Amino acid sequence: MCSASADDNSADAPGQSRRELPDWFGPVAEDVIRYCRPKPGLWVDIGSGPGGLGLALAGASRSACILIEPDSGDLERAVEKAGNLGLGQRVIPIVGRAEKIPLPDSCVDLVASRGSIFYWGDPAEGLREVYRILRPGARALIGGGFGTSYPAWAYEEFMARQRGHLAAEGEEALRAWDEPRSLESLRAAARAAGIEEALIDETPPGNWLLFEKRGK
């Protein structure tokens, strides 16, 4: 299950007033589409959790979206939501991990992943796998963020809550949160995966790797 302290839009620290923050999946899906310019076809959300980004992508397109997620309970929730949204025919759940994606080479038109690479056991292997399944010319956006159109007040409130939780746990918790999310760590994983040359520098706000599969 997706960790509440990591990415929950209503998580709150004891004593703080609770205010529901707006959903960020629509704004992130807009960024994915703007920066990846995917062809319609087969799209993938890796580490989908209960489907927030993958369902937003399916809802904004006519593409099919594969959700790859190790937690089968999260996928069950995603499938139920997809049915309620009328997206059931275009959302395909697969229990799996980024490091061993159960799909053939060069078969998908987009890979997106939000808030997940920071938890992968082997981020470089996961990135190699993402690159492997992309069709030539297709792009991936992997990392974390809230989307260009996400309101600044909500972003600031989320970060204040999040850092408040972490600070209460101590310096080590703050470091363990920040380190995998740094651009240096993400770029180091891309380098270790052998895909540094495929990186595109202009990314949406947040900590993202944007890359395009080489070749024809």
Residue 69 phi, psi (nearest 5) = -155, 135
- Which residue's structure tokens are 């024809």? 216
Nearer to ligand SAM, 1 or 152 (CB): 1
Q: Distance from first CA to last CA of the chain, Å, rounded?
A: 38
Beta strand segments in 50-181, E? 64-69, 91-95, 108-114, 134-144
CB of 215 to ligand SAM, least distance (A): 25
CB of 41 to ligand SAM, least distance (A): 21
Task: With CA atoms as reference, report the closest residue to 209 among 180, 173, 174, 175.
Answer: 180
Nearer to ligand SAM, 38 or 96 (CB): 96
Q: Give the one residue of 22, 26, 41, 70 binding ligand SAM; rule: CB under 6 A.
A: 70
CB of 134 to ligand SAM, least distance (A): 16
Residue 121 interacts with ligand SAM (CB under 6 A): yes or no: yes
Q: Give the one residue of 33, 42, 44, 46 binding ligand SAM; rule: CB under 6 A.
A: 46
Residue 7 interacts with ligand SAM (CB under 6 A): yes or no: yes
Is the distance from CB of 149 to CB of 30 less than 8 angstroms? yes
Is the distance from CB of 35 to CB of 148 less than 8 angstroms? no
Give the footprint of ligand SAM on this chain (CB under 6 A). 2-3, 6-7, 46-49, 52-53, 69-71, 74, 97-99, 114-116, 119-121
